[in-house]
Structure 1
Amino acid sequence: MYGSGKLFIGGTWVEPAGTGTIDVVSPHTEERIGQVPEGTSGDIDRAVAAAREAFDHGPWPRMSPTERAAVLGRLSALYAERVQTMAELVTAEMGSPAWFSLGAQAFMPQMVLRYYVDLAASYPWEEERQGLQGPVTVVREPVGVVAAIVPWNVPQFALMLKLAPALIAGCTVVVKPSPETPLDSVLLAEWLTEAGVPAGVVNIVPAGREVGAHLVGHSGVDKVSFTGSTAAGRRIAEVCGRSLKRVTLELGGKSAAVFLEDADLPTAVGGLMGASLANSGQVCAAQTRILLPRSRYDEFAGAVADMVGALKIGDPSAADTMIGPLASRGHRERVEGYIRLGQEEGAKVLVGGLSRPLDRGWYVAPTVFADVDNGMRIAREEIFGPVLTLIAYDDEEDAVRIANDSEYGLAGSVWTADPQHGVEVARRIRTGSCGVNLYSVDPATPFGGYKNSGIGRELGPEGLDAYLEHKSIPRKQ
């Protein structure tokens, strides 16, 4: 059994204020694999108080960036030694296939941490400017106590997008993991202690929505960083807006992969495994609207269906499994509801559908819908599962129009034999990122969305900017 009977607050493991517990159930076996205490509002109060004390009076914000980087460098080294352990834990708690867990759920978080450790040496923490009225020193200071609210789909990656820059900046943090995936944060707490992160700098309280809302509205919190649904993001923005609390929101997506007429079929179709179906489709940046030219529609559609139909489904810990279970029973029901809806809307199922591929576990069949109109709900709403919608377009202008005809603007891709032309098309698509002949998230570059996909950016220097306030100090010579 994984987990802990205590909460990580103030640098130690403490008894929870309540008696509730969170059972973690394997999406593959449907059996309990771990348990943690269910945090209460009282536990949040204690965690915020510990973070507040560590920020207002502790050493962490008063260390130089170089000194903070040295501590986090030790954490990065520990993480690098144990990526396999973290990957296996995330696979166990939320069903991520082993190939994806090792890369995105463990190795990428460590890369993000390493990136910010290295960035600390070159980042312009302080600069001299010649103002219009005399010399000015511009300094960047930590924003304060940060509430980091983490989703269940990529729990370590989403956490490290917040934790690494916040800590390098000199902030202190209260982490609220999702109740579906609290185990990886418990493990990380042990590594934080081992690396020498001072008491109170990071506090971890697994809890549900109501307790999360208490954290968002807490007067001791200076900034909220949230990854999750657009509906929840709107509520958080409203709360933060009332007190002018700083906020970063990384929300939903309904991204498009645009196959141009000259796209190489094996490259484009093969690329969908990473761009559209990674983590069994449970990725906010998944490109699940596949835009195909009418001149090659049948050719491309058949190849996509063949690729998806050949994917191995099963035990997520197996090295050759490409599609694992969905993270929870309720989420499987939600995704199956969209598959049912797509059939009712008149879309054609090329592969997959409502038949469950395994008798045990929260599996759905990877599904490809053809003859989809961009106005259908399956083309407009985030399904968050292995469900692709194939949409025909007339010409390049039409493809760009359809790609941009969405309330979201998180990600996308363009597939073409002419990469330079692909960049020109990508520039016209209103999303925070858009790959050409691939889709990837690079720790050195900003990630986030336009429109209803969020506010602000994570990763890159921009991700560090989000945890800093700028102060001008003019002086008279």
Structure 2
Amino acid sequence: MGGEWVAPQGTGRIDVISPSTEEVIAQVPEPTTADVDAAVAMARRAFEGPWRNTTPAERGALLARIADEVEKRIPEFARVFAAEVGAPVAVGETFHGLATAMLRQFATLHESMRFTEERLDGGAKMRIVREPVGVVGAIIPWNGPVAAAAFKVGPALAAGCTVVLKPAPEGPLTNYLFAECLEAAGVPEGVIGILPGGREIGEHLVRHPDVDKIAFTGSTAAGRRIASLCGQRIARFTLELGGKSAGLVAEDADLSEVLPSLVPAGIGHTGQVCAAITRVLVPRAREAEWADAMAAALGSVVVGDPFDPATALGPLAAERQRERVEGYIAIGRREGARVASGGGRPAGLDKGWYVEPTLFTGVRNEMRIAQEEIFGPVISLIPYDGLDDAIRIANDSQYGLAGAVYTNDPDIAERVVREVRAGQIFVNNAGMCVTQPFGGFKQSGIGREGGPEGIAAYLETKMINFG
């Protein structure tokens, strides 16, 4: 807190449990609400003091230094990420590479963004000034702690805000490494505090009267709670929430060209990605062909030790997460869907919270496995009858975060990207782009992160009239 390592005001400890061994691998201090108050007070003093007078170029230079420090330690980040979250080392390297890309983008955004703008309105001279919103409470999940932190710290610092960052208790270690990078980069006193903790700490941060904005990534249920609390005091907020994204496969799509993109988009990082393509829509006439091909592809995925270079999928991040995923697999069976691949625990992995990548066929879009976010490696294959029906199914969801369309027909692609209501849609590819506006329609969130749109949520606009 305040640019220094400080002793917590309580005596509680958080056990960090390895998802692959089920053993405690570390303990970190558990913050109290008094620690939150202290961190917010430091952030407020910094915001109202020297930090507010820094220039966009100075803040950009600091972000570039932070990016340099993170980049130097990507192999270390990846190993710790594998230990605390269970992601294969290669996945961790990718995630932390994304973090540096985001930090570098916000480091240079001031070169193209106008924080001050002169206008004429009739005969009056106007000045439009975009000022930092103030102290930001950033609440991030465990599935990509440093990438999620960069998504919020990057635009907040670029805008001139100060930050109190609350990582999830399941992913504190990589964020402590991130804190070391901030320290090495020379982040000024009070500008960033990092307090990994649970829901009580998060709620206290959301309610805090000296926090001007909340930036949250997590579940839609938690997002509703945050929106309600922020609404009580008219605090600013952005929410990046859940998804149940659809990959629409057109009649002309080639199996061999689509599967290398579509399968990882559904089960990558063991399905613990909000933008995962977990509903695959295929023409009814080709349903059996696609079912066989996808089942074979999922069955060939190597699940195991995240430190083994051959591993493609590690364990789920927490025991409760495996219980959730297994619960949904049971629900899918009860609803009448068929398990075409997976559906159980991998053989030979007696320790760790592993689950097989699972494909359901015979799925109707109204089933719970097609409507609710599972956050695990479970894909629903859903047949459609014509393009109108496919678009209807894609949009028949409370979510609207991401999507994909696979076709060689540009007219089909253009119609799908126009009519599917989602924040990011890929053509003949799938994933998420973090350096362009990312966020969702409907219950997938409010606001955008990444690009110029990402910094806008951390700024207030002031109009000055000179007459």
Alignment of 1:295-306 (within 5 A): 295-306=285-296
Preserved CA contact (<8 Å) 1:174 1:202: yes
DSSP 3-state at the match of 1:353: coil
Query: Cα 1:20–1:449, aligned 2, differ >3 Å: closer, same or farther?
Result: same
Tell me the residue number matched to 2:91.
Answer: 100
- Indicate if the aligned counterparts of 1:38 and 1:206 stay in contact, CA closer than 8 A: yes
Cα distance in 2, alignment partners of residues 297 and 258 from structure 1: 13
CA deviations 1:389-436 (Å, max 9, x no partner) are 110000000000000000111111001123453133121101111111
2:354 to 355, 363, 385: 363
User: 8 Å contact 1:137–1:473 — kept in the other structure?
Assistant: yes
Residue of structure 2 in register with 1:189 after alignment = 179
Match of 1:88 among 79, 91, 99: 79
Unmatched segments (≥5 aa) in structure 2: none
**Structure 1: runs of 5 or more not aligned:** 1-8
TM-score norm. by structure 2 comes to 0.98
Does 2:407 match 1:416? yes
Corresponding position of 1:26: 18
Classify 1:419/1:29 alpha carbon distance in 2 versus 1 (closer, same or farther; 3 Å). Answer: farther
Partner of 1:121: 111
Aligned equivalent of 2:122: 132
Distance in 1, matches of 2:311 and 2:111, equals 41
Matched, 1:352 2:342: yes
1:27-47 deviations in whole A, cap 9, x for unaligned? Answer: 011111111101111110001
Is 1:13 paired with 2:13? no
Whether 1:231 and 2:242 are equivalent positions in the alignment is: no
Q: Is the 8 A contact 1:415 1:436 kept in 2?
A: yes
Per-residue CA deviation, residues 34-71 of structure 1 (Å, 9 max, x unaligned), is: 111011111100010010111012x2221100011112
C-alpha distance in 2 between matches for 1:169 and 1:70: 13
SS in 1 for 2:151: helix
More deviation, 439-448/429-438: 439-448
| CA distance in 2 between partners of 1:92 and 1:12 (Å) | 26
Q: Which residue, out of 355, 366, 378, partners 1:375?
A: 366
Q: 1:439 to 1:284 in 2, by over 3 A?
A: same
For 1:238, what is the secondary structure of its paired residue? helix
Counterpart in 1 of 2:258? 268
Helix, strand or coil: the match of 1:44? helix
Q: Secondary structure of 2:111's match?
A: coil
> In structure 2, what residue type is equivalent to 1:361?
G
The amino acid that maps onto 1:334 is R
Q: Distance in 1 between matches of 2:287 and 2:170?
A: 39
Q: In angstroms, what is the RMSD of aligned CA positions?
A: 1.1
2:453 to 452, 462, 465: 462
Q: Tell me the equivalent position of 2:62.
A: 71
In structure 2, the residue matched to 1:331 is 321
| 2:381 aligned counterpart, secondary structure | strand
Name which of 131, 151, 161 aligns with 1:141.
Answer: 131
Equivalent-residue separation in structure 1 for 2:99 and 2:357 (angstroms): 27
- Runs of 4 or more above 6 Å deviation: none
> How far apart are the structure 2 equivalents of 1:341 and 1:27?
24
Aligned residue for 1:197, secondary structure, equals coil
Instruction: State the aligned residue count.
Output: 466
Deviations 1:67-87 (A, max 9, x none): 111122111112222211112
Report if aligned partners of 2:275, 2:432 keep a CA contact under 8 Å in 1: no
> What is aligned with 1:111?
101
Amino acid at match of 1:165: P
Q: Secondary structure at the match of 1:14?
A: coil
1:175 aligns with 2:165: yes
2:199 and 2:414 map into 1 onto residues whose CA distance is 41
Q: Is the 8 A contact 2:78 2:90 kept in 1?
A: no
Q: 1:353 to 1:440 in 2, by over 3 A?
A: closer
